[in-house]
Amino acid sequence: MANTEDRKIELFKKYLNNAYTDDELRELLDYFGENESNLSLKERIEEELANDHFTDVQEKRIDSILQRNDPIIKNIPQRKKISTVRLAAVISIAAMLILVPIFSILFMKKGSTDTHISTSKYGDDILPDTVAKLVSSSGQQLLLDDLGADSILYIDGMRLQKDSDGMLTYSISPENNNSENLLNTIQTASGGMYKIKLADQTVVTLNGSSTLRFPVAFNSLQRKVILTGEAFFDVAHEKDKPFIVETKNQEVLVLGTQFNVKAYADDRETLTTLAQGSVQVNDVSNSNFVRLQPGQQSILTGGKFSTRQVNLLEYLAWKDNMFIFHHQKLGTIMKELARYYNFELDPNSVSTDQLFFIEIKRSTRLSEILELMEVVSDINFEIKGRRVKITEK
């Protein structure tokens, strides 16, 4: 037992020094989930902190969480949820004591169908829109959710087939001789995500609030699509026919690779993240370009490129229906949540540079995420209609 607790103390110190890995944090969270009482570990942690002591208010808050008397935790029946939220609060309080303001929520919700708190303390709640729509070259509109699994539809010279996993596959009707001039559009709602296989077998996964324009068939020189929003591309290799993703401010040129482009109209930056292979990213004027290697990301701002190494898990998590924010500011997180759940942030909200560590399913209700963030920080949220306000506790 002593060796086990020593290991947890070591992990806890790494957290406080902001020098831990994701796996080490999960190990610490798992330890709390396996034990009915963690008071001895809490006492050891206090001893290790030596000169830093919890205040009476903080002690009561920790004890309330550890004893499962916290009002939020009472409404979370699954034990895994209790343990992760419980440790998040303990860690965040200790971190504040030594001026490391990082608040953690690791809330994977695996292996359970009970994914929601039964009621929201805010009264109101906001659920994301999930509808995806196809607009054909002739202007016909089709709600893709209405297209059943394994069904086939012919429209404007193309054959559409939706498989059992929900992916839409395009192929050309034999009688269509003008397919490369026919542009179709897929639009996703704020909380939507849709996967499509293009005529060249390239697979595109669209994030919410995104639009992809593409031809029914590509011409003999290039394969070009137009993106607004965010999408992940798994490009089929054709060495003599480059694949081009055009956005408002840049073009990404590849032959065959896996990469993510984030180019929402209301973002100042255009982000291109490479998962596999290599890509060249050009600005819209073709006067500047960068080449990326796997794990690199280009940032285009004001016509200028910069690059950096990134954690792919964080930037590609949406494909797995996850929110992952590692050491992200509250403002950044709220912008992503607002886009997904389609709400407006109240302009009178308090401004804060607090950092959060969050991993949570995107199927989670907005009210549930906000309640968890309240537990581990010094802010409150209010939901009125489709507006969210942040206030100080």
Res 278: pLDDT: 93
Tokens (6 digits) for 140: 């016909």
Three-state DSSP state, 26: helix
CATH-assigned architecture of domain 1-123+312-393? 3-Layer(bab) Sandwich (3.55)
pLDDT band at 105 (very low <50, low <70, confident <90, very high): low
pTM exceeds cut of 0.85: no
Domain range annotation of the chain: 1-123+312-393, 132-311
- Render pLDDT for 27-62 as a digit per residue (tens, 0 to 9): 665 655 444 444 455 555 555 544 445 445 445 444
Pick the more confident residue, 261 or 105: 261
Is 127's pLDDT higher than 60? yes
Instruction: Report pLDDT for 31.
Output: 58
Average pLDDT over residues 156-183: 75
Specify the pLDDT at position 262: 98
Taking a C-beta distance cutoff of 8 angstroms, is the pair 69, 60 a contact?
A: no
Residue 305, pLDDT above cutoff 80: yes
Mean pLDDT lowest among 66-75, 210-219, 313-322: 66-75
Mean pLDDT (the chain, rounded): 77
In the chain, % of residues over pLDDT 90: 41
CATH of domain 132-311: 2.60.120.1440
Q: Work out the burial of residue 302: count CB atoms within 10 Å of its CB; fewer than 13 is exposed, 13-18 middle, 19 or more buried.
A: exposed
Residue among 222, 198, 220 nearest 212 (CA): 198
Which pair of tokens denotes residue 58? 């903080």
Beta bridge mates, 324:
359
Predicted confidence band at 372 (pLDDT cuts at 50, 70, 90)? confident
Higher pLDDT, 16 or 318: 318
Rounded to whole angstroms, the Cα distance separating 218 from 257 reads: 18
Report the distance separating Cα 276 and Cα 259, nearest Å: 7
Q: Supply the pLDDT for residue 182.
A: 80
Q: Can you give the pLDDT at residue 176? A: 57
